[in-house]
Amino acid sequence: MNTDIIRQTDKEVADLLDLELKRQQTTIELIASENFTSKAVMQAAGSVLTNKYAEGKPYKRFYNGCKNADKIEELAQQRAKKLFNAEHANVQPHSGAQANMAVFLYAVKPGDTVMGMDLSNGGHLSHGSPVNFSGLYFNIVSYGVDSNGEIDYENVRELALKHRPKLIICGASNYSKIIDFKKFKEIADETGALLLADIAHIAALVAAGEHPSPFPYADFVTTTTHKTLRGPRGGIIMCKEKHAQGIDKAVFPGTQGGPLEHIIAAKAVALKEALSDEFKLYAKQVVLNAKALAKSLMDEGLDIVGNGTDNHLMTLDLRKLNKTGKDIANILEVVGITANKNTVPNDPQSPFVTSGVRLGSPAVTTRGFKEEDMVEVGKIIAEAVKISDTQDSEKLKELRARSLKLCEKYPLYKD
């Protein structure tokens, strides 16, 4: 994490990077979509491949001098296929949203009907939000969750039979239950739709067997590489072999130009790490830690959407307390816990205010937290919520000291 070389050129940026490192070291990171990469992944992301342009596929480039980039990208493809038991993998997407865009470009035409989970119920912007390309150019039919915070598969089926979508999207950015990919496949087959599973959040859990896999069922599977998968910021598309050529063309030249070969190198390293036995233990602990945190919060009298979690995340429901997600996320940051405001189902607040706070266990699990630590984190959160109206400065200092003690127990990027 040495910034001396940067400092010789740009002291301002070096100072800010040092401050960011200190923030990460002294903060309990509960943003469900964030994680800490290994130093190996970070070094690959900052490698000499940042200098290389490599438009096209491995061994079929539009530029010369790509023989090393070709081999590295091929390694990333092979490792992705092995990790997920996928038929084909394209590791070039710059992000999960761009991976989804490429699937849209290949699978549907503007104006076609697409079904996806409503953003306010736990879906993602690229699953049909009206402010996103997916909602602007396609006829979106959204499904949500029931009063228990679970997908009502019969309702999904009824909507699909009524609207006959060309593409059905399953997967979410804020859903704490197990997704039944088999049921989605049955619905897609019954209605003649293609099936896209977006596993950006649960990729590591799928890879490690902690969540059922969509690969026997979905035509396309997209994921980010920087959440539970613990890699660099980027995306991957995997698909059935019959869709491979079309998906590759949809990525380049369809939606992107030159791939980020330095990030692809970091993806390759992260995928190798994910193939290890140690990674399987990590994924298992992610779920154990999330369950421990959810139980701790509920024991303290707080509401969780769906009354718990089956994966790596959960959402605090603050409606009965007449508090907003925006205010609670801000107070948590004061006591050294980073989270994000998030809507809850049927939220009376706007997406900029919200009635919920999303919490996740991937980053703290990478750091070394265990169940007993998550119980303490739950208690700190509960006490912060209780005093958020008064903002008792002495109590806030006490809670900050408790969170800092946990951070010091598990040093980050120290050696």
Write down the catalytic residue from 3, 26, 34, 55: 55
d(CA 83, CA 79): 6
Residue 145 CA neighbour count, 13 Å, CB half: 25
State how far Cα 281 lies from the chain centre.
19
* Burial grade of 64 (CB within 10 A; 0-12, 13-18, 19 or more): exposed
d(CA 285, CA 362): 9
Write down the catalytic residue from 52, 57, 177, 227: 227
157 is catalytic: no
Residue 88: helix, strand or coil by DSSP? strand
d(CA 351, CA 366): 29
Cα pseudo-dihedral 118, 34, 235, 168, rounded to 10? -20
Helices (H), 49-194: 67-84, 96-107, 133-137, 153-163, 181-191
- Sign of the dihedral through C-alpha 329, 335, 339, 344: negative
Write down the catalytic residue from 29, 73, 198, 210: 198
Q: Quick one: DSSP state of residue 95?
A: S
Residue 311: helix, strand or coil by DSSP? coil
d(CA 177, CA 336): 28
Q: Quick one: DSSP state of residue 121?
A: G
227 is catalytic: yes
Write down the catalytic residue from 233, 280, 370, 395: 233
At residue 261, what are phi and psi to the nearest 5 degrees? Answer: -65, -25
367 is catalytic: no
At residue 37, what are phi and psi to the nearest 5 degrees? Answer: -75, 160
d(CA 189, CA 75): 34
A 10 A CB-CB count for 78 gives 14
224 is catalytic: yes
d(CA 144, CA 398): 40
Active-site annotation, residues: 53, 55, 198, 224, 227, 233
